[in-house]
Structures are given as C-alpha cells and as structure tokens.
Amino acid sequence: MKNIFINKNSQLRSGWKIVSTFSSFYLGTIVLTIILLIIYILTKVMTGSIGENGFIIFINNISGMASNLSTSIGFIVALLQCLTMIFFVVLFWKVYDRKPIREIGMINIKKGYKDLIKGLVFGAVSLILVFIILLYTEQITLINPFSKPNFSYALLTGLIIFIFVGINEEMFARGYCMTVLKQTGNKYVVVIVSAIIFALMHSLNPSVTLLSYLNLFLFGLLTAYMFIKSGNLWLPIGYHIAWNYFEGNVFGFLVSGQGAAGIYNLNVPVYNIINGGEFGPEGGIVVTFIVLAGLIYIWKFYKPTYQ
C-alpha cells in the first residue's frame, strides 16, 4: 500500500502532489465563490438594486455574470480564483518539497524581465495573426471600425485579471506540475502530462469541444517548451498574459468560452471549426496552426537569456 503513495526515493508520488494541490484549490474556490456570491446577492437586495419581481431573473443570471470577465462580479470571482491557485501552489510546494519558489521557475523578475517582455511580444503577435487570418477570411467582421475603438475601464480590469491568470496557470501547470513530475524520471511524461492537465483544467469552461481540448493541449506543449528552453516561467507567463489580453480585451473574442469587453466588437457570421464557434478562436483550426508555428519559432529562433 505504501508504494501507491511513496516512490523509491521516499517521496510522495508526483500524481498525489498534483491531485491534492488542485483539489484543495478547487474546493477552496467553490467555497469562497459561494460565500462571495451570497454576499453579492445580499448586498444587491439590501441596497434595493433588485426588486422582488426581478429577484428570480437576477438569480438565474448570476452564473452567467460570474463567468463574464467584463462584469464586476465576474472580475472579482476570476481574481479570487487566481489568488487561490497561487496560494495553494506555494503552500503545497513548501509543504511537500520545502524548497524556494524559484525552484519551480519563479525567479526574481530582475533576472527574468527580458523573457517576460519577449513572451508578451510573442503572445501579442500570435493573437494579432489569429485576428488577421480570421478577419481576411471573413470568419469574423468588425462591428465598430478600427477608427472607432471602444475604450472602457474593462481594459484595466481585464489587464489585471489576465496578469493573474497568466501567473497562476503557469505557476501550476508548468512550474509546479512539471517540476514535481520530474520525479518520474521521464521527460516525455513531464511535458505531455502537464499539457494534458492544463487542457483538462478548462473542462468547465462554456462550450468546450474536442478541438478546444486539442488546442489547449498544444498551447500547454508550447508553454512547457518555453519553460524548458528559458529555464524560468517568465517567458510562458508573458506569452499567456498577452495571448489572453489581446484575445479578449483588444479584439473582443471569447477567451476559452468566457466573454470579455474588447476595444473592438466582433460579429461571427457562422460558428464553425475555423473560427472556434462559441468557445472563441481557441476552439478553431486557425489557433491550431498558430500554436504549431509558435513551437517551430521557439525551437528555431529563441535564445535563452537566463540559465
């Protein structure tokens, strides 16, 4: 029985470390989100923001509001989830491995800022290419022209959210999972399993499809490769932040099925396998192509700035 939990080096097996960390995050997020939503509903009722006749409608819409990053409650819920994940990654890393956080790739920003900048530029360029391809193949149309961008507070709140999303997801899926999976002694397990975990983390996102899972898996492979080549998390963090921000708050796409207020508003004439449908571009083959191209680019052209 002991061998199920402990490996030959007397370490808790990596699978149990990952399961316990993610389970704690998941349960903690559920509890905190429920508490937050109860407080939010009570506040609305007590301030008279919703009347008796509109209460049922409000309750029915609350889940949609909580999953929309452009709403105030959606912003708070998303931020809470990110902070909860970061907390449990740090906690369990300290409990199980008792090593500095830099050992999972979170090096000092003074040493990693160049990779962060490279990642931000790479992520932005990648999403710009996705936008251009979809626009010029008429998979999407602009509602407001380039000359009339919509600027709102969502540009700031979205930036805050996507900074934390990039940090928390990379800390867990790449930094934590890949580092503890090294216990297996198999480099392919480290990369492939961490990418699978990353894809499965999005299972509860609205309108997820098989192609969405494939693209998320490929995205996980790309950022895992960035982590390996750069020797730190700042390159994939920067890429992840810029990808999400340009996807949602610049171009107005759905971000893994979740709505975000963009500078530009888009119309998708027909949902299909090319544009990703209701999951957003990450559910389409254009993103498949761009992520594969990104893997080739990192392989051929990226030069580590920190090792």
**What percentage of the chain carries pLDDT values higher than 70?**
91
Least confident of 49-58, 236-245, 248-257, 276-285: 49-58
Q: Which residues have a Cβ under 8 Å from the Cβ of 276 and sit 6 or more positions away?
A: 211, 212, 254, 282, 283, 284, 286, 287
pLDDT grade, residue 293 (50/70/90)? very high
Q: Is residue 267 predicted with pLDDT exceeding 60?
A: yes
CA 37/CA 236 separation, integer angstroms: 32
pLDDT recorded at residue 53? 58
Mean pLDDT across the chain:
90
What average pLDDT does this structure show over 268-288? 94
**What percentage of the chain carries pLDDT values higher than 90?**
67
pLDDT grade, residue 7 (50/70/90)? confident
- Give the helix/strand (H/E) hosting 142: strand 141-142
pLDDT recorded at residue 280? 94
pLDDT recorded at residue 68? 67
* Sequence-separated contacts (24+) of 144-150 with Cβ below 8 Å: 144/264, 144/265, 146/264, 149/263, 149/264, 150/261, 150/262, 150/263, 150/264, 150/265
More confident residue, 238 or 11: 238
CA 107/CA 91 separation, integer angstroms: 17
pTM confidence score: 0.92
- Give the helix/strand (H/E) hosting 94: none
CA 235/CA 223 separation, integer angstroms: 8
What average pLDDT does this structure show over 203-225? 95
What average pLDDT does this structure show over 147-158? 87
Q: Is residue 56 predicted with pLDDT exceeding 60?
A: no
What average pLDDT does this structure show over 230-234? 96
CA 11/CA 96 separation, integer angstroms: 9
CA distances from 124 to 128, 150, 179, 290 (A): 6, 19, 27, 12
Domain ranges for the chain, please list them: 2-301
CA 165/CA 288 separation, integer angstroms: 21
Q: Is residue 51 predicted with pLDDT exceeding 70?
A: no
Q: Is residue 199 predicted with pLDDT exceeding 70?
A: yes
Coil vs helix vs strand at 229: helix
Terminal Cα-to-Cα distance of the chain (whole angstroms): 40
Tokens for 274? 């090319």
What average pLDDT does this structure show over 254-271? 88
More confident residue, 291 or 254: 291
What average pLDDT does this structure show over 153-180? 95
pLDDT recorded at residue 73? 81
CA 260/CA 253 separation, integer angstroms: 7
pLDDT recorded at residue 11? 78
Q: Is residue 35 predicted with pLDDT exceeding 80?
A: yes
pLDDT recorded at residue 168? 97
What average pLDDT does this structure show over 73-78? 85
Q: Is residue 143 predicted with pLDDT exceeding 60?
A: yes
pLDDT recorded at residue 66? 67
